[in-house]
Amino acid sequence: MLKFDNVTKRYPETGDVLRNISFHLRHAEMAFLAGHSGAGKSTLLKLIATMERCSRGQILLDGQDLSHAKEKQLPFIRRKMGIIYQDYKLLQDRTVFDNVALPLVIAGYGHHEITRRVRAALDKVSLSGKEKKYPFALSGGEQQRVGIARAVVNKPPIIIADEPTGNLDPELSAEIMFLFGQFQQVGVTVLIASHDISLITQLNHRVLKLDHGQLISS
């Protein structure tokens, strides 16, 4: 599903942030990306999200070469993945419904289909009834779940999340991890960056461990 082949990312200012990363995430597999602060976790996820391009090597998503994709193809590649951000990246002046509907509107779904899918996604993250609320009127955990609903509403085959539990209490974190488990259960590939060691060990999934830009265990 997702294959890194000798991937190196170099920033002109900071040098090699990721060095010779190789791993293979199979279909419907769930894995954690662990490592100290500054290890390169966010950078690796940005490469997958095509927000950055790798300097060397090759990234294959579902057989498609992300590292050499044309600018024009990027929107369509991004529609194939659900991305969850630590800072949620929600539109503050739009309702919960509109936020979650955005990927569907962009993909050109019809009105009824959008309503149906948004309801289903919000239901999945236990936010039914909050469609008309604005993000600022929600708690951090609720906003995070809106972000998750937006990421999965398009039924993407892969979900990547950057510190999805970064500022949530343990109970909420467990709840959200449970949700990711459910997605994996129905065939979605999941990759989660986190430095929450206790949570990771507790869940006992595959762990990709980064240290100063190198993959030290997978």
Ligand X SMILES: Nc1ncnc2c1ncn2[C@@H]1O[C@H](COP(=O)(O)OP(=O)(O)OP(=O)(O)O)[C@@H](O)[C@H]1O
The yes or no reply on residue 4 touching another protein (CB under 8 A) is no
Residue with tokens 């590292």: 67
Of the candidates 6, 14, 64, 128, which one interacts with ligand X according to CB under 6 A?
Answer: 14
Could you give the CA distance from residue 208 to residue 210 in angstroms, rounded to a whole number?
A: 7
Within 8 A by CB and 6+ apart from 75, the residues are: 106
Neighbouring C-beta atoms of residue 168, cutoff 10 Å: 19
Asked whether position 140 contacts ligand X by CB under 6 A, the answer is no
Cα atoms in the 13 Å half-sphere on the side-chain side of 90: 30
**Among residues 30, 42, 109, 208, the one that binds Mg ion under rule CB under 5 A:** 42
Token code pair at residue 53: 């391009």
Span 152-211, contacts to ligand X by CB under 6 A: 195
Work out how close the CB of 77 gets to another protein at its nearest, in angstroms, rounded to a whole number: 8
Residue 198 binding: pick among Mg ion, ligand X, another protein, none (C-beta 5-8 Å cut-off by kind): none
Site string for another protein, 108-137 (x = CB under 8 A): xxxxxx------------------------
**Residue 207 per-residue DSSP state:** E
What Å distances lie between residue 65 and 8, 10, 138, CA to CA?
15, 19, 38
17: partner contacted, choices Mg ion, ligand X, another protein, none (Cβ within 5-8 A by kind) = ligand X
Q: Mark residue 78 as left, alpha or beta (left: phi above 0; alpha: psi -120 to 50; beta: remaining).
A: alpha
Could you list the residues that contact ligand X (CB under 6 A)?
Answer: 11, 13-14, 17, 35, 37-43, 195
Could you list the residues that contact another protein (CB under 8 A)?
Answer: 46, 49, 51, 62, 75-80, 83, 89-91, 102-113, 150, 154-157, 178, 181-188, 203-207, 218
